[in-house]
Every structure is written in structure tokens, then in C-alpha cells.
A and B are shown apart, each in its own frame.
Chain A
Amino acid sequence: MNRQIARMAVVGVVLLAALIVGTTYWQAWAASGLADRQDNSIQQVVQFSVKRGKIYAADGKTVLADNVKQKVGGQTLYLRRYPQRGLAAHIVGYSTRVRSRAGLEASENDFLTGSNTNLSTFLDTEFDKLRGTTVEGNDLHLTLRPGAQAVALNALGGKCGAAVVLEPRTGRVLVSVSSPTYDPNLIERNYDLASKPRFGCPPLQNRATAGLYTPGSTFKVVTASAALDSREFTPSSTFNDPGYCIEYGTHVNNYDTSSPFGNVTLASAMQNSINSVFCNIGQALGGLRIVKQMKSFGFYSVPPLETPVNERAISGLYNNKGKLVDPKEESQIDAGRLAFGQGPETGEPRTTPLQLAMVAAAIANGGLVMRPYVVEKIIAPDGSEVTKTKPDTLGRAVSENTATEVRRMMEAVVSGGTGTAAQIPGISVAGKTGTAESGVAGRNTTSFVAFAPAGNPRVAVAVILERQSGTGGTTAAPIAKAIMEALIR
């Protein structure tokens, strides 16, 4: 019997050894894969056991995100509170137990939880764990100006839309609001209330970076840039305006067809936003040239910002199925209508407020497009600087000369054209209005881009509103003015 017993002993040892192999597989081989799984509640607890870094506005005092300590099931958890509620909700986002994360809370999670590892910090955190001390995350300091954020939210007044302000020379995002806003504190407690549409608009979407809108005449800044940069046109090139232009054999009308302007210059076509003139320019330049200009302003690439990539949309031509179209041939573009910011079902221009602000900022910055950023610096718990964002150039959109000429034309828009509502006493403002008609009353998309002071720009702003019955000059320009005043004064 002893031989059989010895064999059974081998069987027993092999069975138990298999358990060690199995354990090794899960704890060494598969461990990191398990940790990355979405439904891993342990990792969630681990993340919430970290004293998450705070998020500050540009003044360094206004706290946008903070922690409350809470004992849950024997674990000390740090749960998020947002003292400023809706003030910067779409940029800051939220970190909750039930709905995971959004905004910077999601994209900067590694920094906020202190798990941005290089070897020395990794060792530090491992030693902290051994000592049982709480891991502390890094603080984010944003470029957002809390006062101007509040002014912008207030000026938007809950209407559906967004406003973005960039500092032209650096690309700092000084204001980014999406309206209606929401209270991130409610995401966990009452998601239905937080996400309930207001005036028919769902509040959680970040319209400033992910909302795509037909720009209408604000797009003429892009067309004018292409026209002047091509050297085929100057601000004093003259055109005849019959009140319409002929596209593919049919009339494309001006905003107001009752009084054609007759003989006008490019500058006054800009000032009075004459579609027929831009239509002719577009046809002369060709659609591909305009698309090329769009690309040099940043269209057709995901606008660089620190928020999660799925919260930023690409601006460009979109077909009626919502697909981005990158035309390769002239015949694919309705150049005449594109020139004044509209288009057919096969390819209509759409822009995010952020992209529109980048256009204004580039003109204000002498043609150089700066990379927009919202995280100024990241500070470690011991007060040392983890990272500091340096202004970075994305590329040149137009020559300095063209930028100056476009700026002058935009100044005229505000001083005596469609954008007079944006005038600020004592400060010269450059701007452009836009009204994209949907064909349904009260369903216009109105917009306004501007920068000021025109001679030495400190702010570049884009405001877009949905579901408006007025024009860009009457609805969006006053909001832009209020925000610029708050920042410059």
C-alpha cells in the first residue's frame, strides 16, 4: 500500500502547490490588470482614502474643490465638496463614489491623488503607507478668475450657451463658463436634480469646450484672415453688394435684404457683416483655402486643454449626420456660404466657444496661436512646485500684418458697426458679431468674439448663445462686454 500512499501524497502536494501558483498569478501577474478594472471597489476605496489635493482659482484663495473627512465602514475617506458650487463646475468637474469623475477631477486625478509617480515620490508614498500616514495629493492652481467667472455666469443668466476668455499672449483660460451650470455637490446626493435640463438644456455638458455651434458671421474673422493673408484682397478691396450672392445658381441672401449696400469695401463689409461680399470672397478664394485657414487657427484638431479629451470637441465642417468632414476637393465645399459661417447639410462649419476664442486670441496676439491652458501650477503638499505651465505656441495662423488689418476691421465693428453693444468707455474693443439662423423663430445661434484693449489686448472672448430670437450684436455682445469689463477694470 505504501507506494499508493506515496503517490497520493504527491497528488496532495501538487493540488496544494497549484494554489500557490494560482495565488501568484492573481497577486503578481494579473494584479495591475485587476486594479485597473472599473468595478474594482477596493481601488475606489484606496483612491478615496487619499487626501485629495485642493483646487484653487487664479487668486489662490478661492477654493473650488475641497475635502470632508468621513468615517465609513472603519475606513477614513476623503469626500469632495465644492464650496463655489456651480462657479467653475464644468472645468473642475467632480469626483464622486457613484458617478466616477469628470473635468479636471478626472484628467488630473493622478496629480490630485499624489500617484504621479517618479521613483523618488513612489518610494516616499510607499514609506508613507508603511508608516500608516495618509497619502496627500497635490493642489491645482487654475488660471480661472473667480470674479469674472461669476460675472459671466450672471450675464448668461441661465440661458443656454457658453463664454470663454483667453489671455491672448499666453493662452491662459481666464473664464470658461457653460450655462446652465450645475452644482457638483449634487452629483452624488441628487443626480436627477443636478442633471435636470433647464430651459431645455442639459446642464452637465461643457458647452464651452464640447458644444458645437454654427458660428455665422463671427466666422468672417477666419475668412477675412484667409483673404488678407492670401494678398489677393486688402481691407480697401471694393465689392458690389446686390443684397444677395449667387451660389450654385440660387440666391443666398444677406441678413437684411431690404437695403443692399451697393459698392462697399471689404472693411465696411466686415463692419456691417455683409454676407454677399463674403460669399464672393469665399468663391474667389476657394473652400480649401478657407479650410486651410481654419486648420491654422486650430480647427480640425482637439483643442489642447487639461480637461478630459471626451469633454472637448473638434471644430470643423460637420455633415448632417454629425460627422466631421475634412474636404479634400473644392467640390466638397460650399465656399460661398462657408465664407460667412454657414453651410449645406454636407458640410456646415461648427465651432466650440473655445475654438472661437482661440481665433480672436490669435488675431489679438499678432497672428500667433497660443496653446490654451487652465492649470497654472501644481503644488505638492510640502509647498514645492510639481509643475508650472509655460505658455506655448501652437503655430502661426496669419502674418502679423494681416492680424493688424483684421484687428482694425474688428475695431470698426464695435465702434460703428453691428457690435456697438460691446463698447467700453475709454477702451477700444475689437469684435465681430454672428447670428446663425436655423429657420425657426427663436432658434438662432448668436455669437460674439472680441478682444480688448485693441491696441494691447489682455483678453480675448467668445460668447455663444443657443435658442435666441435676437442677433449676436444684441444678445451676445453685451455679455462679452460685461465679462471684459470685469477683467480689465
Chain B
Amino acid sequence: MSYRNRELANLFVVAVITGLGFASVYIARQDVVSTGSLSYALFFFALYVTAHVIARVAVPQADPYLLPMAALLTAIGVTEIYRLDPDNAFRQGLWIVVGVAAFAGTLLALRHDYRRLESYKYLFGLTAVGLLFLPALPVIGERINGARLWVHVGGIQFQPGELAKIMLIVFLAGYLREKREVLAQGRLKDFGPLLAIWGAAMLVIVMTDDLGSALLYYGIFLAMLYVATARAWYAAAGLTLFLGGSALLYHFVPRVQERVSIWIDPWAHAHTSGYQITQSLYSIGNGGFSGKGFGKGVFATTNGHDLIPQLNTDFIYSALAQELGLVGSAALVLVYMLFCLRGFRIALLAQDGFSKLLAVGLTFGFALQTFIIVGGVLRLIPLTGITLPLVSYGGSSVVANFILLAGLLLVSHRANSLSQISMEGRS
């Protein structure tokens, strides 16, 4: 079977799963939910078939599993968001349409050779830092839940950080490809521009109070630096620096202190700042082995108040864990794991440094973002609010992750086409 036919077959499987998910929500919540919910599954299938057709045109040789897995993740996300609040699911559905459009646009625009992006690397780097600065600006910037992450222009809210993440990866891929030999020699002056842009990014993060993104960007940076230079001690030194820096931040930024003390003993703050995480853990614990079932979880108190703030964004994993149980949430994490393995496979197969670094950056960023938010929810690490890729409610995140997906497919298509040509050449 060709790559694209395999993709289509996988999308059918996803459509069936999605249909069952919405049906189960409908059955559990008939009194709240209309039969219209069932049309969501159909709508989704149509949307992803469109994405599939575009992939068939633009990147016929690309990996056939990534798009169906992305479809599955968005479907799980929308099903849970729908179950929590149908209005939000409608909005999320619109954002997925926008995301698929961005996916199609990226594929069509870069289908001939995405590698020309490399020549614009500094533009990407500067734009990324500029985007990160936007929420810190007075009029348009907006603070939500303690972090300045949002920009508000003419009725539309978005998180520029999500797009900035991809631009930074493009910049790092280009820059590291060019400088990897000199960087590997370890002369301090070669690190100058890198550290400058990096420092600016860190400064922005301190200004916006967004710790989760700081960890994410830093992790992506270290991973890509390591892959580019093959110097493990860079990564080790980088990690040490990060831990040292965190210890410093701990003493000077009260918000960091608060986060850490909640992490160490959430029950000591159960009625104040630790409320969210303790209630979230109760939600996860209530799921047990097999979960309560879609639509049957408990997310409101006996007085009808919402149990967990930001349930459909930062804490969507604890909602899913309650309704799907250990079986379902482990399966969800496995989908992320498979997605990442396919991503790393693309990086391995890619034939030039820029493509390899780009694929590693995009894939590791995806994995690390998943780890930071779910690890925070599970109290493995201190909680910082970022979205669960493709599942959480939130437009900017969905659109950015579709662009990320397009990037991986572009790299994959090129790698597979080239290896086919070389094999044909040999035969």
C-alpha cells in the first residue's frame, strides 16, 4: 500500500474511534447534549480527508502515521472539551479548521523545498523574540492566570509564544547547522550570537512570568545543541546552568517559590494555591483502572461549582484520566510516544543537517511540551501552565501544532523521496 493510502486507512480507524467517543458522550449526557454531537465525528472525518488530499498533492512520500495520530489527538481533545462545554468545542472545531488551513498553506507553500527557510534564519530568530515580547507590551498584552502570555487585538486573543516556539526551532536548526563545526570546538566567541538571542528569550520569559515556556525553550535548545555538536557535556553544562538559574530564581521570584512549595506539599495549601492540583489529583485518582467513561466523570462540586479551574486547557489530562482511566490515559500517552518516535525516525532518515535538526527540534519540542504539562498535572515536576499539544482547548496552540506537523511531513517527504531515488539509482 502506498504511503497515502495507508494514511487514509488510518484516518478511517480514527473516524470510527471519534464516532464512538462522541456517541458515548451523547449516551451519558442525553439530557444535556443534543444528537448534533454525533455530526462532530462526520465533520472531523471530512476535515481530515481534506488534509489528507492536500498531503497527497504536496507531500505524497511523507510519513503516513503522523496525520492520523494528530487527528486522533484533536478528536480526543474536542470530545472531552465537548463533554465539558459544547460551546467551547464549537470554537475549538473552528480553530482546528484554521489549523488544517495553516497545515495546507505550509505544505503547499514549501512543498518544493522547505530548506530555503534556512536563509531566513535570523529573520525567524528575531521575529520569534519579537513575538515573545508582544504580551509584555502595555495595551495589547494581557495577563491571564498570573502569566503574561496573551495578546489581545480587535476581539481576537492569541498566544504568540506558540508560534515563536516553531520559529525558534527553525532559527536554531539553521544556525546550528551552519555553526556546528565551530561550536563543537568550544570557543567561547562562537557562542556569542546564540547566547544573545537566548538571553533575550529568557529575559522575555522572566518579564512574562511564564516558567513552563522557559523550560520548554531551554530544553529544545539543549537537545538541538547536543544533536548538532555531539558534545554531551554541553547539554550537561546547560542543565547545570538551568538548575543553578532556577535556584537563583527561587530566591528572588515569589511566584517560583509558591510553585515549588505547592509541588512539594499541595495538601498544605489545599484550600488556597494548592486547590487546583489537589482537586486534579482527586480527579485522576477517581478514574481508577478503567475510568468513569466519557461523559460520566465528576467535574463539579455538590454545589454545582467547577471543580478544577482551567480544566479544558492546562488540566485536560486530569479530565481525560478520570473518564478514560489508566487504560485510556496510558493509551493517550502512547499515541504521543508513537508520534515522537515517528518524528525521530524522520530526523534519522533526513539527509541534510538542517532537516535533521529541524525534525529533532520539532519532535523533541512536542514531546517535552507534553511532558511539562502532564508531568506538572501528575506532580512529577512543579506545575507550569502550558497546553497539551493538539488536545487542550486553545486556538494558537492548535494552529502552531498543525504547522509543526506540516514541518515534519515536509522533512519526511523529502527524506523518503530521496531514499527512493537513491535506491532506484542503485538498482
Interface residues of A (CB under 8 A from B): 1-9, 11-13, 15-20, 22-28, 30-31, 34-35, 37, 39-46, 48, 72-75, 77, 97, 132
Contact A77 B370, CB 8 Å, known A27-B321, A35-B286: no
Most chain B CB within 10 A, of A35, A45, A48, is at A45
Find chain B residues with CB under 8 A from A97 CB: 302-303
Whether B285 contacts A74 by the Cβ 8 Å rule is: no
**A75 to B, closest residue via Cβ:** B300
> How many A-B contacts are there with CB distance less than 8 Å?
160
Pull 27 A–B residue pairs with CB atoms less than 8 Å apart, ordered by A: A4-B227, A5-B348, A6-B348, A7-B226, A8-B226, A8-B364, A12-B337, A12-B367, A13-B340, A13-B341, A15-B371, A16-B367, A18-B371, A19-B371, A23-B378, A26-B284, A27-B284, A27-B287, A34-B281, A39-B278, A44-B302, A46-B298, A48-B302, A73-B300, A73-B301, A75-B300, A77-B302
Q: How far is the CA of A120 from the CA of B367 in the complex (A)?
A: 45
Cross-interface CB contact of A45 among B302, B348, B360, B364, cutoff 8 Å: B302
* Contacts of B60-109 to chain A: CB distance below 8 A: none
Cross-interface CB contact of A73 among B287, B305, B329, cutoff 8 Å: B305
Find chain A residues with CB under 8 A from B375 CB: 15, 18-19, 22
**B380 to A, closest residue via Cβ:** A22
Whether B282 contacts A9 by the Cβ 8 Å rule is: no
Contact A24 B330, CB 8 Å, known A5-B344, A12-B363: yes
**A22 to B, closest residue via Cβ:** B378
**B227 to A, closest residue via Cβ:** A4
Whether B326 contacts A12 by the Cβ 8 Å rule is: no
* Contacts of B24-67 to chain A: CB distance below 8 A: 28-29, 32
Shortest C-beta distance, A284 to chain B (Å), equals 60
The reply on B200 being an interface residue by CB < 8 A is no
Most chain B CB within 10 A, of A5, A6, A35, is at A5
The reply on B271 being an interface residue by CB < 8 A is yes
Find chain B residues with CB under 8 A from A46 CB: 286, 298
Q: How far is the CA of A43 from the CA of B347 in the complex (A)?
A: 47
Most chain A CB within 10 A, of B286, B299, B302, is at B302
Find chain B residues with CB under 8 A from A17 CB: 333, 337
Whether A39 contacts B300 by the Cβ 8 Å rule is: no
Interface size classification for chain B: 35 or more
Whether A44 contacts B301 by the Cβ 8 Å rule is: yes
- If A8-B360, A13-B341, A41-B282 are given as contacts, then 5 extra A-B residue pairs at C-beta distance below 8 Å, sorted by A number, are A8-B223, A12-B340, A19-B380, A28-B289, A48-B302
Q: How far is the CA of A2 from the CA of B306 in the complex (A)?
A: 48
Q: How far is the CA of A20 from the CA of B330 in the complex (A)?
A: 6
The reply on B414 being an interface residue by CB < 8 A is no
Shortest C-beta distance, B39 to chain A (Å), equals 21
Whether B356 contacts A16 by the Cβ 8 Å rule is: no
Contact A1 B301, CB 8 Å, known A15-B371, A27-B285, A27-B289: no
Whether B326 contacts A15 by the Cβ 8 Å rule is: no
Whether A26 contacts B304 by the Cβ 8 Å rule is: no
The reply on B273 being an interface residue by CB < 8 A is no
* Contacts of B309-324 to chain A: CB distance below 8 A: 321-322
The reply on B307 being an interface residue by CB < 8 A is yes
**B280 to A, closest residue via Cβ:** A26
In the A-B complex, list the 5 residue pairs whose CB atoms are closest, starting with the nearest.
A73-B300, A34-B285, A73-B304, A22-B378, A9-B344
Q: How far is the CA of A301 from the CA of B287 in the complex (A)?
A: 42
Whether A23 contacts B330 by the Cβ 8 Å rule is: yes
The reply on B283 being an interface residue by CB < 8 A is yes
The reply on B167 being an interface residue by CB < 8 A is no
The reply on B368 being an interface residue by CB < 8 A is yes
Whether B368 contacts A5 by the Cβ 8 Å rule is: no
Find chain B residues with CB under 8 A from A75 CB: 298, 300
Q: How far is the CA of A41 from the CA of B308 in the complex (A)?
A: 10
Find chain A residues with CB under 8 A from B127 CB: none
Q: How far is the CA of A40 from the CA of B298 in the complex (A)?
A: 11
Whether B380 contacts A12 by the Cβ 8 Å rule is: no
Find chain A residues with CB under 8 A from B279 CB: 41-42
Q: How far is the CA of A25 from the CA of B377 in the complex (A)?
A: 13
Cross-interface CB contact of A5 among B285, B286, B334, B360, cutoff 8 Å: B360
Find chain B residues with CB under 8 A from A45 CB: 298, 300-302
Whether A1 contacts B227 by the Cβ 8 Å rule is: yes
**B371 to A, closest residue via Cβ:** A15
Find chain B residues with CB under 8 A from A12 CB: 337, 340, 344, 363-364, 367-368
Find chain A residues with CB under 8 A from B360 CB: 5, 8
Q: How far is the CA of A41 from the CA of B230 in the complex (A)?
A: 50
Whether A31 contacts B28 by the Cβ 8 Å rule is: no
Whether A41 contacts B302 by the Cβ 8 Å rule is: yes
Find chain B residues with CB under 8 A from A77 CB: 302
Q: How far is the CA of A243 from the CA of B326 in the complex (A)?
A: 80
Q: How far is the CA of A72 from the CA of B226 in the complex (A)?
A: 54
Q: How far is the CA of A27 from the CA of B324 in the complex (A)?
A: 11
Contact A27 B288, CB 8 Å, known A4-B227, A5-B227, A97-B303: yes
The reply on B238 being an interface residue by CB < 8 A is no
Q: How far is the CA of A265 from the CA of B274 in the complex (A)?
A: 73
Whether B302 contacts A74 by the Cβ 8 Å rule is: no
Shortest C-beta distance, A41 to chain B (Å), equals 5
Q: How far is the CA of A11 from the CA of B363 in the complex (A)?
A: 12
Q: Mark B331-344, 1 if CB is under 8 A from A, else 0.
A: 00110110011001
Cross-interface CB contact of A37 among B282, B300, B322, B348, cutoff 8 Å: B282
**A45 to B, closest residue via Cβ:** B298
Contact A16 B371, CB 8 Å, known A27-B287, A34-B285: yes
Shortest C-beta distance, A304 to chain B (Å), equals 33
Q: How far is the CA of A15 from the CA of B287 in the complex (A)?
A: 22
Most chain B CB within 10 A, of A1, A25, A28, A43, is at A1
The reply on B270 being an interface residue by CB < 8 A is yes
The reply on B23 being an interface residue by CB < 8 A is no
Q: How far is the CA of A20 from the CA of B331 in the complex (A)?
A: 9
Whether B303 contacts A40 by the Cβ 8 Å rule is: no
Whether A2 contacts B348 by the Cβ 8 Å rule is: yes
Shortest C-beta distance, A279 to chain B (Å), equals 57
Find chain B residues with CB under 8 A from A23 CB: 284, 321, 326, 329-330, 333, 378
* Contacts of B362-382 to chain A: CB distance below 8 A: 363-364, 367-368, 370-371, 374-375, 378-380
